[in-house]
Chain A
Amino acid sequence: MSETQFSPNQAALEIVVSARGIGKCYRLFDKPSDRLKHQFYGRFGRVYGREFWALRGVSFDLKKGEAVGIVGRNGSGKSTLLQIIAGIIEPTEGSVRVEGRVSALLELGSGFNPEYTGQQNVFLSGGILGIEQEEMEKRYDAIAAFADIGEFINQPVKLYSSGMYARLAFSVAISVDPDILIVDEILAVGDYGFQQKCVARMRQLRENGLTLVYVTHDTNAVRSICDKGLFLNDGSPVYWGDTDEAVSEYLGYLRQLANQDTVSARGDIPKPRKLETEVFGFLRYGTGHAQIEKVETRNTQDEVSNAFMIGETIHILVFYKSFSAVDNFSVSFLIRDNTGVDLMGTTTFDERISLPPLSVGSQGAVRFSFQNVLKPGNYGISVALNMISQRDYSDNITLDMVEACTTFLTIGDENRPIHYKFFCPVKIYCDTEI
């Protein structure tokens, strides 16, 4: 690592979780005894079972106080990664170094004994983490209060609802002074009020230096709590870094999959084509039957421009080419700000403009024109070509979709500052005139 040139000791001290090329291979055995045989005879080169890599090639560093949100579909290796960080399973390859006390909330029923009462489980969890009984007694009231499950605290946890279970588990996990908190989707079973309470508490703990590893399908929670994002797919890291980008990559991937599902469900769609035109964006997918050739922003003089004043008209030109016959053709655009919020856009389909059917090799362009009402800043334009005829979008197929294929800038007027996302002209009447 080249950063070690610069105050190496401090840099090394700050990193509390360090994963280096970790991978977990499960051998799928037909019999449990094959596993032990493999452990014995594997050394002689004899192989039992089939290999399945649940996770592979994951490397990252987490500094003290950082929070990473891990997103990905079911079976993408998120939980496996958490189990490795928590030290519950051994990675097959690579290494992970974790410094400090780890408190892990993995799925439902972390470390609780179903026969014990809630109270007994609180003390048991303390004991597992090496906290003396007297110390746990001091904390007990706060734990019970946060869990807020009333008399059930004195009942065996096997009688708990999944929500109560999550409440108690979370309450214990945050009350044992963890340096690193690992949370796996457990909050999803809690009611909305409890989820908010947990998110607030996690933020508060982060201010005190807690390092958080968080897995959830709630991408908004990831955006609001985490400052790093990791997108896993089929056990491999797709993106590591900025939270917003990790989340958009993940959501983009989901949309892409949904599109593929629609295409294969329809059956009457010709084979997808490679997206070969030279348009580049943050993410691109689609069936490729028609493809975007070029996207431009132009000013009122019809010159290509990437900077606009407020109130100036922006023209977005989308040039496309068809590679097979396409009916019910629609073109759309979407503008996002630099935090990933969808601001505005439209589609020719929604505006009920019917574009002529495309024949093989035909080319065309659509011009979207609108007055710039966006506050000063950078904006990204995403453009899509669709095939759609149903008003409920049930038959929507994305032919080509390029996210953030071009950007533009809004220039502010220092005489009229704008503090909100949009500038909408407002008429003002003073009461003398009413």
Chain B
Amino acid sequence: MSAQIKAAPLLNLFKGALRLANPVKMSRNFWQHRSLIKQMVQRDVGQRYKGSILGLVWSVITPLVMLIIYTFVFTVIFKGRWTITENAPFGEYTLIIFAGLIPFNLFSELANRAPILMLNSPNFVKKVVFPLEILPLIAAGSATITSLISIGLLLIFSLIFLGHIAPTAIFLPLIYLPLLFLSLGLSWFLSALGVYFRDFAQIIPLVTLVLFFMTPIVYPPTSIPPSFQWIVTLNPLAMIVSDFRNLLIWNVFFPTKEWVIWTSLTGIFALLGYGWFIWSKKGFADVI
């Protein structure tokens, strides 16, 4: 009985956030601010390397160095091998890891930035009427650009080491869809929660670290014991990472059914995140 009494207002609360999770209104809102979004994504990318001598070159150097480290650690030290091909060409293992890292990096960058996204822009929260909900979108735009640079790099290496570029790479935008839905949804949830609970800024990097090892990025999904396979099944990142590899390296089209399910689920997740953000943003100026 008492549970029922408590559940009713709580339901109302989520109804408020649900009512605001309106895809039409959301799209219209973003369309209205398209000029601002474009302008701020440009600035965000520019800001990242501003004042550094090498500038945009860093966006190539950073993934390159990471790649060398992973290759060294996993092929030379751990003697790891992707078991699919016995006589793998030199560098294939590196490319496989790289293909998995690209979507994961995009996800973790957005997740790690989210809890401090509002706290870092007090002027936008307190001094002007700013469409705060576009800040995660801007972070996503900027992270997408970084990931596209990495993909360009990967395709070049693919040509050098493997002698070809997989034609299926052209379908990659389809995999970006669930990836961005997932990352954006999380970003909306976390950036709103981060305003009230500063702890999220500490928790999330830990969570992404755990996720990194729970996602088959540096090891093949087949090496997971069957009793732990559910980790992969329930992890949308596992599907995204594997599809990135299929399309970019192995020239294999991704499983459609899985894609449809995950894209719908992450799409709903993103909408709920948006609704939650809009519902709770009224209180931001009172706290920051």
A contact residues vs B (CB 8 Å cutoff): 26, 32-33, 35-36, 39-40, 43-44, 83, 86-90, 102, 104, 106-107, 109-116, 120, 123-125, 127-128, 130, 132-133
Q: A residues within 8 A CB of B280?
A: 39
Contacts of A87 in B (CB 8 A): 129
- A40, A86, A113: the one within 8 Å of B123 (CB): A113
User: Smallest distance from the beta carbon of B79 to chain A beta carbons, Å?
Assistant: 46
Q: List chain B residues, Cβ under 8 A from A83.
A: 126, 285
Distance of A89 Cα from B39 Cα, bound (Å): 26
Among A26, A32, A87, A110: residue with most chain B CB under 10 A: A32
**A115-B47, A124-B39 known; A107 and B287 CB under 8 Å?**
no
| Chain A residues with CB below 8 A from B10, complex form | 40
Task: Give which listed residue, A26, A107, A116, A120, contacts B127 with CB less than 8 A.
Answer: A107
Q: How far is the CB of B260 from the nearest CB of chain A, in Å?
A: 35
Contact A111 B128 (CB under 8 A): yes
Contact call A89/B286, Cβ cutoff below 8 A: yes
| Cβ-based interface call for B257 (8 A) | no
Which residue on A lies nearest to B198, using beta carbons?
A: A32
Contact across chains for A35 and B39 when beta carbons are under 8 A apart: no
CB of A262, distance to nearest CB on chain B (Å)? 38
Q: Is the CB of B32 within 8 A of A130?
A: yes
Nearest-neighbour CB distance to chain B for A132, whole angstroms, equals 6
Instruction: Check B128 against A88 for contact (C-beta < 8 Å).
Output: yes
Q: A7: shortest Cβ distance to chain B, in Å? A: 32
Provide the B155-173 mask, 1 if CB < 8 A to any CB of A, else 0: 0000000000000000000
Chain A residues in 8 Å Cβ range of B203: none
B49 in the interface (beta carbon within 8 A) = no
Taking a contact as CB atoms under 8 Å apart, the answer to whether B127 and A106 are in contact is yes
Is the pair A111, B124 in contact by a Cβ cutoff of 8 Å?
yes
Instruction: Give CA–CA (A44, B12) in the complex, Å.
Output: 12
Chain A residues near B123 (CB-CB < 8 A): 109-114
In the bound complex, do residue B9 and residue A88 qualify as a contact, i.e. CB atoms below 8 Å apart? no
Is B196 part of the binding interface, using a Cβ–Cβ cutoff of 8 Å? yes
Looking at A104, A109, A128, the one whose CB has the most chain B CB atoms below 10 A away is A128
CB-based contact B39/A36 at 8 Å: no
A396 to B27, CA, bound (A): 67
Q: Measured between alpha carbons, how far is A89 from B282 in the docked complex, in Å?
A: 7
> Is B127 in contact with A109, judged by CB distance below 8 angstroms?
yes
With known contacts A113-B123, A123-B39, A128-B128, A36–B196 Cβ distance under 8 A? yes
State how many angstroms separate the Cβ of A325 from the closest Cβ of chain B. Answer: 53
B13 at interface by CB-CB < 8 Å: yes
With A83-B285, A86-B128 known, 13 other A-B pairs at CB within 8 A are A39-B280, A43-B12, A43-B13, A90-B283, A102-B129, A106-B128, A109-B123, A120-B43, A123-B39, A124-B43, A130-B32, A130-B33, A132-B35
Q: Please report which residues of chain B, range 113-147, place their CB below 8 angstroms from some CB of chain A when the two chains form the complex.
A: 121, 123-124, 126-131
Residue B68 interfacial (CB < 8 Å): no
> Are B43 and A116 touching (Cβ within 8 A)?
yes
22 pairs across A/B with beta carbons < 8 Å? A35-B283, A43-B12, A43-B13, A83-B126, A87-B129, A89-B286, A90-B283, A104-B127, A107-B127, A109-B127, A111-B124, A111-B127, A112-B123, A115-B50, A120-B43, A124-B39, A125-B128, A127-B33, A127-B35, A128-B36, A128-B128, A128-B130
Q: Please indicate the chain B residues that have their CB under 8 angstroms from the CB of A132 in the complex.
A: 35
Quick check: A89 and B35 within 8 Å, CB to CB?
Answer: no
Which residues of chain B from 168 to 187 have a CB within 8 Å of any chain A CB?
A: none
B272 to chain A, nearest CB (A): 17
Which residue from chain A places its CB closest to the CB of B129 in the assembled complex?
Answer: A87
Residues in A with CB closer than 8 Å to B121 are 113
A33 partner residues in chain B, CB cutoff 8 A: 196-197
Q: Closest approach, in angstroms, between the C-beta of A41 and any C-beta of chain B?
A: 9
Interface: B95 (CB within 8 A): no
Q: How far is the CB of A123 from chain B (nearest CB, A)?
A: 6
Please name the residue on chain B nearest to A111 by beta carbon: B128
Interface check B40, CB cutoff 8 A: yes
The residues of B that contact A35 with a CB separation of less than 8 Å are: 196, 283, 286-287
> A40: nearest residue on chain B (CB-CB)?
B13
**Contact among B9, B197, B198 for A44, CB-based, below 8 A:** B9
Nearest chain-B residue to A132 (Cβ)? Answer: B35
Are B40 and A88 touching (Cβ within 8 A)?
Answer: no
Residues of chain A contacted by B128 (CB below 8 angstroms): 86, 88, 104, 106, 110-111, 125, 128
Distance in Å from the Cβ of B218 to the closest Cβ of chain A? 35
Whether B127 contacts A127 by the Cβ 8 Å rule is no
Task: For chain B, residues 269 to 287, give those with C-beta under 8 angstroms from any C-beta of chain A.
Answer: 280, 282-283, 285-287
B126 & A127 in contact (Cβ 8 Å cutoff):
no
Taking CB atoms, residues of chain B closer than 8 Å to A88 are 126-129, 285
Interfacial chain B residues near A90, Cβ < 8 Å: 282-283
Beyond A40-B13, A107-B127, A112-B123, whether A127 also contacts B286 by CB under 8 A is: no
Question: Which partner residue on chain A sits nearest B12 by CB separation?
Answer: A43
Knowing A36-B196, A102-B129 touch, does A89 contact B9 (C-beta < 8 A)? no
Complex CA gap A32/B284 in Å reads: 11
Measured between beta carbons, the chain B residues less than 8 angstroms from A111 are: 123-124, 127-128, 130
Interchain CA distance A40-B9 in the complex, whole Å:
9
Contacts of A32 in B (CB 8 A): 195-198, 287
Measured between beta carbons, the chain A residues less than 8 angstroms from B28 are: none
B residues near A113, Cβ cutoff 8 Å: 43, 121, 123
A114: which B residues are within 8 A, CB to CB? Answer: 123
Q: How far does the alpha carbon of A116 sit from the alpha carbon of B40 in the complex, in Å?
A: 11
Chain A, residue nearest B282 (CB) = A90
B6 within 8 A of A: yes
**Residue among B35, B47, B287 facing the most chain A CB atoms (10 A cut-off):** B35
In whole Å, how far is A8's beta carbon from the nearest beta carbon of chain B? 30
The smallest beta-carbon distance between A349 and chain B, in angstroms, is: 49
Least Cβ distance of B81 to chain A in Å? 46
- Select from chain B the residue with minimum beta-carbon distance to A39: B283
**Chain A residue with Cβ nearest B193:** A36
Name the distance in Å between B129's Cβ and chain A's nearest Cβ.
5
Residues of A within 8 A of B286 (CB): 26, 35, 89
